[in-house]
Amino acid sequence: MDKKCPDCQVDLFEDYSEEVFEQEDGSMMLDTFPAWVCMNHCGYYERIETFEVIAQRDDDCFLLLYEGEEARILDLRDRILFPPMNVHAILSKGYWEDVRSNRDIGEEMKNIKRIKEWNR
């Protein structure tokens, strides 16, 4: 499966990309993640997401488990993907329920990219 940049029509290669965003307390957060990056370096990328949805809270907050026991909280109401933390630390704090939502988290994650434009 070849992935192409929609702007340049060249192949994407597997690399890392990063986004900087401002947290609620005003501090800046750097988020680095694996991504398909345009060979032209035009700035286009697609996140490579390898996670499993393991729990949820309310209807729009999900706990995503990544490799190495790292987990992230995904808040679809505010469209925020929080930085990774140890999954046990997250589960020990707060109340989590079994996943019952049918939402397509993979699809929803595409909109989450806008996190870099998020301001408080």
Residues contributing to the site for Zn ion (CB under 5 A): 5, 7-8, 38, 40, 42, 44
Q: Give the containing element (helix H, strand E) for 37.
A: strand 28-38
Smaller CB separation from Zn ion, 12 or 74: 12
Which residues on adjacent β-strands are paired with residue 85?
A: 71
Place of tokens 């990056």: 37
Smaller CB separation from Zn ion, 46 or 75: 46
DSSP 82: P
Instruction: Output the smallest distance, CB 6 to Zn ion, in A.
Output: 8
- Give φ, ψ of 110 to 5 degrees: -65, -35
Smaller CB separation from Zn ion, 8 or 85: 8
Instruction: Output the smallest distance, CB 98 to Zn ion, in A.
Output: 41
Instruction: Output the smallest distance, CB 104 to Zn ion, in A.
Output: 26
Q: Give the containing element (helix H, strand E) for 108.
A: helix 105-112
